[in-house]
Amino acid sequence: MFEQLLNGFATALLPLNLLIALAGCLVGTLIGVLPGLGPTATLAMLIPLVFSMPPATALIMLTSVYYGSMYGGSTTSILVNIPGESASVITTIDGHKMAMQGRAGPALAIAAIGSFIAGTFAVLMLTFVGAPIARYALLFGPAEFFALMVFGLCTVASLTGTNVAKSIISTCFGLMVATVGIDLVSGAARFTFGNPFLQDGVDFVVVAIGMFALTEVVITAREVHAGTRAEIVKADKVWVSWSEFLYSLPSIIRGTVFGFIIGMLPGAGATLSTFITYNLEKRVCSHPERLGTGDIRGVANPESANNAASGASLVPLLTLGLPGGGATAVMLGALMMLDITPGPLMFEKHGAVVWTLIASMYVGNTMLLLLNWPLVNIFARVMRIPAKFLMPTVLVISTIGVWSLSYSAVDLVLTGAAGLLGYYMRIHKYPVEPLILGLILGGRLEQAYRQALIISKGSNMIFLEKPISLGLLVCAALFLFLPMLLKRSKQFVAAQESAEVA
């Protein structure tokens, strides 16, 4: 195996391939930075290039673009408060506050470092214990998924302040939006009003651009007009300090491990993992009251989680030939076009190419970290562009992001509606994150529940009979009710108050 890996490195480190990896990371980051264009969109745009390349080079290109765009997504979260993809929603909470405090540099840097550690961990796991642990993904059937989704939804409790009613309303509305479209389990069209553009439901990008981009643009414009825009503190340093790194290292490790475990399951892995680890973080770290106020750990944790998760989603794909979520489906398509049939025999039949791919993942991770040394500096300067020039451009590019989804005017109208609603919610302190979580998990939650009931022929006992699902449901209940029991603890009260202020 080592020999094969070394051969892989030999190919991946060829000057041409190194150049391709560098270009891929750069292009991926630059496109991923554009609001509304996440990893999936970026990969899709670059797939035509793959045709003209030999398989190994093409795969190197794709992985480096993927890494780059994942990282680019977090950059927009930090700089302009617009999550580039659903896995970066949590990053906005602390990331953007850091940027406003003049700490855009350290925020971007810790995101890069966290991503590097998490990404490398994921590849190491893939290299050495990939196949055995990938089987764990098979243990998750509909019943287990349902329990996991319920667990994920319970994290809403820790995201929000003391106003439970507002977060329930927000979550519930997100779940309601998720029911729009053709119901997978029955094939019935729901809430589509006969419009074909609604049949696939409301895309995350539509809601995110509306609720984050439009809202941010308008709020900034209001603040500029009223002269109340907070002066962005001038950055004193662009890289993260040693003590900051040590301070956030435990968060990175926790994010990495949980991100990896959750990310290996197909579906909403990366996003779910950020919500769950952030929630855990609030429970286990010291000074939880700092989270949500521009704490560097609030960037380090979700960013490591989503990178570990996206690395982990490649484990079942490469070892068992089973696609995970979003971007791995694009990778799967690319593999098929390169005449590599994903499956358990991939290592035997296309060993050279697959090992090159794995080697290129190490290279891509490292490349991204090195690339960010200069890039962080440049991106941090974005904060210095006057809002009156930056915001209109953000608006235009966000619109293109929505438009490129399926060239539908309906999406644009929905974006506008989401913008108005998002603005109201921001002004009147309705938390947006539960809505996003509801939107992302809603479809799968319902599907998994009904799939499980079809399998069990209508008996709800299936969720209690399966050990994994039972365990997850118990955890969910603990998460929900433990805070009530702990309410008298001083630390907890402090955390709640800080969350409310935020």
Partner 1 sequence: MKKIGLLVAGLALAGPLAIVPAAAWEPNGQGECIAPSNPGGGWDITCRTAASVLQKTGAFKGSIYVTNMPGGSGAVGIANVVTKRKGDTNLIVSASPALTFTVALQRTPYTYKEVMPLAQVGAEYGGFFVTADSKFKTLADLIAAMKADPKSVSFSGGSAPGGQDHMKVALFAKAIGVEPTKVVYVPFQGGGEALTSMLGGHTMVAALDISEATGQLEAGKIRGLAILSDKRSSKFPDIPTATEQGAPVDYVIWRGYYMAPGVSKEAYDWWVGTMKAMVNTPEWAAEREKLGWEPVTRFGDDFVKHVNDEAVRYRLLLKELGFVK
Partner 2 sequence: MDIAKTTSPRTRIEGFVILLVAGGYLWETFNIPDFYQLPDTPGPTTFPELLGIVFAAMGLWLLLSPGDIIARLRARRDGTSPAATAPAAPGENLFARLGLDWHFVALWIVVLGYLWFMPDLGFPVATFILLVLFTALLGETRWHIVLSLALAVTIVVYVSFKYGLNVRLPLGILEFLRF
In the complex with partner 2, which residue's Cβ is closer, 409 or 484? 409
Query: Residue 478 carries which side chain, given as an amino acid letter?
Result: L
Q: Which pair of structure tokens corresponds to residue 308?
A: 């570990």
Among 446, 448, 466, 495, binds partner 2 (CB under 8 A): 446
Among 2, 186, 193, 389, binds partner 1 (CB under 8 A): 186
Binding of residue 351 to partner 1 (CB under 8 A): no
Do 410 and 205 touch, CB atoms closer than 8 A? no
CA distance 16 to 6: 17
Q: Quickly count: other Cβ atoms within 10 Å of residue 4's Cβ.
A: 16
- The binder of 387, among partner 1, partner 2, none, by C-beta within 5 to 8 A per type, is partner 2
In the complex with partner 2, which residue's Cβ is closer, 222 or 384? 222
User: Closest approach of Cβ 138 to partner 1, in Å?
Assistant: 4
Cα Rg, the chain, nearest whole Å: 22
Size of the residue set binding partner 2 (CB under 8 A): 55
Binding of residue 344 to partner 1 (CB under 8 A): yes
Query: Interface with partner 2 by CB under 8 A: which range of 16-24, 297-305, 396-404, 488-496?
Result: 396-404
Binding of residue 470 to partner 1 (CB under 8 A): no
DSSP state of 233: P
User: Closest approach of Cβ 412 to partner 1, in Å?
Assistant: 14
String of DSSP letters for 169-223? HHHHHHHHHHT-EE-TTT--EES-TT-GGGTT---HHHHHIIIIIIHHHHHHHHH
For 421, residues 6+ apart whose C-beta sits below 8 A from its C-beta are 210, 211
Binding of residue 47 to partner 1 (CB under 8 A): yes
CA distance 75 to 485: 38
Among 237, 287, 349, 388, binds partner 2 (CB under 8 A): 388
Assign 161 to helix, strand or coil: coil
Torsion over CA of 158, 163, 164 and 165, rounded to 10 degrees? -150
User: Closest approach of Cβ 58 to partner 1, in Å?
Assistant: 13
CA distance 30 to 254: 29
Burial of 138 (0-12, 13-18, 19+ CB in 10 A): exposed
Among 234, 457, 488, 490, binds partner 1 (CB under 8 A): 457
Binding mask 314-343 for partner 1 (x = CB under 8 A): --x---xxxx-----xxxxxx-xx-x-xxx
Do 335 and 342 touch, CB atoms closer than 8 A? yes
Size of the residue set binding partner 1 (CB under 8 A): 55
Cα of 366 vs its chain's centroid, Å: 20
- The binder of 388, among partner 2, partner 1, none, by C-beta within 5 to 8 A per type, is partner 2
Rounded to 5 degrees, what are φ and ψ at 81? 65, 30
Binding of residue 467 to partner 1 (CB under 8 A): no
Query: Interface with partner 1 by CB under 8 A: which range of 186-194, 220-228, 300-308, 372-380?
Result: 186-194
Do 388 and 224 touch, CB atoms closer than 8 A? yes
Among 392, 465, 477, 478, binds partner 2 (CB under 8 A): 392
Site for partner 1 in 264-283 (CB under 8 A): 266
Q: Which pair of structure tokens corresponds to residue 60?
A: 């190197």
Cα of 142 vs its chain's centroid, Å: 22
User: Closest approach of Cβ 372 to partner 1, in Å?
Assistant: 27
Binding of residue 450 to partner 2 (CB under 8 A): yes
CA distance 343 to 56: 18
Binding site for partner 2 (CB under 8 A): 31, 45, 48, 165, 168-169, 172-173, 175-176, 179, 183, 185-191, 214, 217-218, 221-222, 224-225, 387-389, 391-393, 395-397, 399-400, 403-404, 407, 409, 412-413, 415-416, 419-420, 428, 446, 449-450, 453-454, 457-458
Give contact residues for partner 1 (rule: CB under 8 A): 40, 43-44, 47-48, 51, 137-143, 182-187, 189, 196-197, 199-200, 266, 316, 320-323, 329-334, 336-337, 339, 341-346, 349, 405-408, 447, 451, 454-455, 457
